[in-house]
């Protein structure tokens, strides 16, 4: 198969899978087999694309031209490759997890759950491989719309409220600000292609470029920079697998991915270094990091604490992008992956706890490590990675982040990262401590004897894989860093 065909298949496969999934809605086992096969197939496709990519293939293909001069087209570049690898690998893991979770939790409407999940992943692939900003925007919106039914899966009042926030913020920011930025860019340059070195240089004054950059940064609501972040905690009404894959990895990373793409391929690092507004936007990202961490500290609901932690971590990447140095881009790209592995593990664990004990609050987790040692061990590894302590993946990206801030002499940013590291420790370590070193209350102890101990096998399997991945990425980060460095090279 030629790389172009594989590229199209990567997008088409998950988008078409729902047809089969809905056709099999009466037979749960074959239906889930379709999901597993699709996700495994997608991973294989992306891996083979990765091989071809490293050998120098640069497949590019246009499939339609909705507006004259604006094509829906796909093209592979290092950052997109990295994002696609991350999303497709974690989709396979999440599919395994979902089957255990959805069944043990007796969720309804499972067929539509798996269908929309596949569409969402297809949109993510579209975003990752988008050949121009227009295509990226289309799949960005498709991702919002396809995840809306997942967020509101339970169909009750809280889902409706959460869904409102979700759609309101994401569609609102993208239609109001991002689309405006897009059309503005189009009217300035006559193209929306991603080009190495950017397309905007020389077409707009640095002051206006700052305004345009602000439109992009705030318009990309999925990157959750304050004040466009409130949708993310609201999205936590979704079933845990959705929160895990979509709201810790796919959707939010699509946001920061877009930010990186825009800074690298639309503005270009050289042009952006003339734009003074980047400094201010970086402070906004810094403020997001700190404020979201502080809010996370105060959350008792485990999923909410994780969500606020995600808000804060996303701004790490935005901040890295705005450092406008090659090291910053390496740091941002790497952090996309490293944070993805750790955060999905944390969500998986939260879901496992919910399924087995029906507990959602951190204050109820005393002694849970004795009941679910395997789960909580994975939780601890991921928490350590979030703080950035070796030997975990988080250390690698934090290294580059700190290096980037020092290189560009952004001392404020450096300070923010250090304080935020302390805050990370402050909101994750107590959970680990409580789980392993506090006594269970008698009621909980009774319940745990009654309910059995660990989570279902598929759930444990998924948790193990991502936790092991978090450790493995510390020892073998080469593949990730290779792509990250190629991205940084493209920005010049």
Partner 1 sequence: MLLANLPALQVVIPLVSAPLCLLLRNPRHAWAWSSLVSAAVLAVAVMLAHRVYTEGTISYAIGAWATPWGIEYRIDMAGAMMVLIIAAISAVVMPYARRSILHEIEYKKIALFYTCYLLCLTGLLGIIVTGDTFNLFVFLEISSLSSYVLISLGSTRRALTAAFQYLVMGTIGATFILIGVGLLYMMTGTLNMVDIAERLPAVTDTRTIRVAFAFVTVGVSIKLALFPLHIWLPNAYTFAPSVVSAFMAATATKAGVYVLLRFFFTVFGSQFSFAAMHVSEIFMLLAIAAILVASLVAVFENNVKRMLAYSSVAQIGYTILGISLASAAGVSASMIQLFNHAMIKGALFLALGCVFLRLGSVTLKDMHGLARHMPWTMAAFVAGGLSLIGVPLTAGFISKWYLISAALTAGYWPLAVLVLISSLLALVYIWRVVEAAYFNVPGASMDKIKEAPASMLIPVWLLIGVNLYVGIDANLVVSMAQQAADALIGQVLQ
Q: Cis omega before residue 391 (within 30°)?
A: yes
By beta-carbon proximity to partner 1, the closer residue of 67 and 443 is 67
Smallest distance from partner 1 to CB 145, Å: 7
Is residue 180 a contact point for partner 1 (CB under 8 A)? Answer: yes
Contact positions with partner 1 (CB under 8 A) in 48-77: 64-68, 72
CB of 137 to partner 1, least distance (A): 6
CA distance 252 to 166: 12
Decide if residue 474 touches partner 1 (CB under 8 A).
no
**Residue 64 beta carbon to partner 1: minimum distance, rounded to whole angstroms:** 5
- Contacting partner 1 within 185-214 (CB under 8 A): 186-187
Give the nearest distance from C-beta 172 to partner 1 in angstroms. Answer: 5
Would you tell me the crossing angle of helices 133-151 and 251-261 to the nearest 10 degrees? 160
Of 23, 175, 411, 457, the residue at the interface with partner 1 (CB under 8 A) is 175
- The residues, any chain, with a CB within 8 Å of residue 60's CB and separated by 6 or more, are 4, 73, 74, 75, 76, 131
Helix (H/G/I), strand (E/B), else coil: 361: strand
Q: Are 428 and 421 in contact (CB under 8 A)?
A: no
Give the integer Cα–Cα distance in Å for 36 and 29: 11
Peptide bond connecting 270 to the previous residue in cis, omega within 30 degrees of 0: no
The nearer residue to partner 1, 57 or 180, going by C-beta atoms, is 180
* Residue where the block lists tokens 């992306």: 46
Residues in the interface with partner 1 (CB under 8 A) total 30
Residue 109 within binding range of partner 1, rule CB under 8 A: no
Among 33, 37, 60, 159, binds partner 1 (CB under 8 A): 159
CA dihedral 295→245→281→419, nearest 10 degrees, is 40
Candidates 174-182, 198-206, 225-233, 295-303: pick the segment binding partner 1 (CB under 8 A). 174-182
* HEC letters along 59-77: CEEEEEEEECCEEEEEECC
Residue 18 or 163: the one with the smaller Cβ distance to partner 1 is 163
Binding segment toward partner 1, per CB under 8 A, in 156-164, 196-204, 310-318, 340-348: 156-164
Please name which of 198, 38, 229 lies closest in space to residue 118, comparing C-alpha atoms: 38
Q: Draw the binding track, 131-150, toward partner 1 (x: CB under 8 A; -: no contact).
A: ------xx--xx--x-----
Binding of partner 1 at residue 184 (CB under 8 A)? yes
Interface residue with partner 1, options 40, 54, 111, 168 (CB under 8 A)? 168
Q: Residue 58 is encoded by which pair of tokens?
A: 């640069």
- Tell me whether residue 186 or residue 474 sits nearer to partner 1 (CB atom): 186
Q: Does 19 bind partner 1 (CB under 8 A)?
A: no
89: nearest Cα among 363, 275, 402, 337? 337
Nearest to residue 428, comparing CAs of 454, 476, 392?
392
Kindly tell me which residue out of 94, 152, 240, 243 binds partner 1, with binding defined by CB under 8 A. Answer: 152
- Half-sphere exposure at residue 41, Cβ-oriented, CA atoms within 13 angstroms: 20
Q: How far is the CB of 22 from partner 1 (least distance, A)?
A: 12
Determine contact, residues 40/46, Cβ cutoff 8 Å. Answer: no
Complex with partner 1: residue 170 or 413, whichever CB lies closer: 170
Residues lying near partner 1 in the complex (CB under 8 A) are found at 64-68, 72, 137-138, 141-142, 145, 152, 155, 157, 159-160, 163-164, 167-168, 171-172, 175-176, 179-180, 183-184, 186-187
């Amino acid at each position: 198969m030629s790389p172009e065909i594989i590229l199209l298949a990567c997008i088409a496969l998950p988008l078409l899978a729902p047809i089969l999934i809905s056709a099999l809605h009466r037979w749960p086992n074959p239906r889930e087999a379709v999901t597993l096969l699709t996700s495994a197939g997608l991973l294989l496709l992306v891996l083979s694309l990765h091989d071809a990519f490293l050998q120098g293939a640069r497949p590019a293909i246009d499939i339609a031209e909705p507006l004259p001069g604006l094509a829906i087209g796909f093209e592979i570049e290092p950052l997109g490759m990295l994002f696609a690898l991350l999303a497709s690998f974690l989709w396979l893991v999440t599919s395994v997890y979902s089957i255990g979770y959805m069944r043990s939790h007796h969720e309804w409407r499972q067929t539509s759950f798996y269908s929309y999940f596949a569409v969402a992943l297809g949109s993510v692939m579209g975003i990752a491989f988008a050949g121009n900003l227009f295509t990226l925007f289309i799949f960005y919106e498709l991702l919002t719309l396809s995840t809306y039914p997942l967020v509101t899966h339970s169909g009750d009042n809280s889902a409706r409220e959460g869904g409102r926030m979700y759609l309101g913020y994401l569609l609102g920011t993208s239609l109001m600000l991002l689309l405006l930025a897009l059309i503005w860019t189009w009217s300035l340059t006559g193209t929306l292609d991603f080009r190495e070195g950017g397309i905007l240089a020389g077409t707009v004054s640095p002051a206006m470029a700052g305004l345009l950059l602000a439109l992009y940064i705030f318009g990309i609501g999925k990157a959750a920079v304050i004040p466009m972040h409130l949708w993310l905690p609201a999205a936590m009404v979704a079933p845990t697998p959705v929160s895990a894959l979509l709201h810790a990895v796919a959707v939010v990373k699509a946001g920061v991915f877009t930010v990186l793409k825009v800074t690298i391929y639309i503005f270009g690092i050289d042009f952006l270094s003339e734009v003074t507004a980047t400094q201010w936007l970086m402070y906004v990202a810094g403020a997001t990091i700190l404020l979201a961490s502080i809010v996370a500290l105060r959350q008792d609901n485990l999923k909410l604490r994780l969500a606020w932690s995600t808000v804060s971590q996303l701004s790490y990447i935005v901040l890295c992008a705005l450092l406008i140095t090659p090291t910053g881009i390496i740091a941002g790209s790497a952090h996309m992956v490293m944070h993805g592995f750790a955060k999905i593990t944390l969500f998986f664990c939260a879901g496992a706890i919910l399924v087995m004990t029906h507990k959602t609050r951190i204050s109820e987790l005393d002694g849970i490590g004795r009941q679910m040692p395997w789960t909580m061990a994975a939780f601890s590894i991921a928490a350590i990675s979030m703080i950035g302590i070796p030997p975990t993946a988080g250390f690698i990206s934090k290294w580059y982040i700190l290096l980037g801030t020092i290189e560009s002499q952004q001392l404020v940013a450096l300070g923010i990262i250090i304080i935020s590291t302390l805050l990370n420790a402050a909101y994750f370590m107590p959970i680990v401590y409580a789980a392993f070193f506090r006594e269970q209350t008698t009621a909980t102890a009774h319940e745990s004897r009654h309910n059995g101990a660990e989570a279902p096998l598929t759930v444990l399997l998924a948790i193990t894989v991502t936790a092991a991945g978090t450790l493995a990425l510390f020892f073998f980060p080469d593949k990730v860093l290779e792509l990250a460095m190629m991205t940084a090279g493209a920005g010049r």
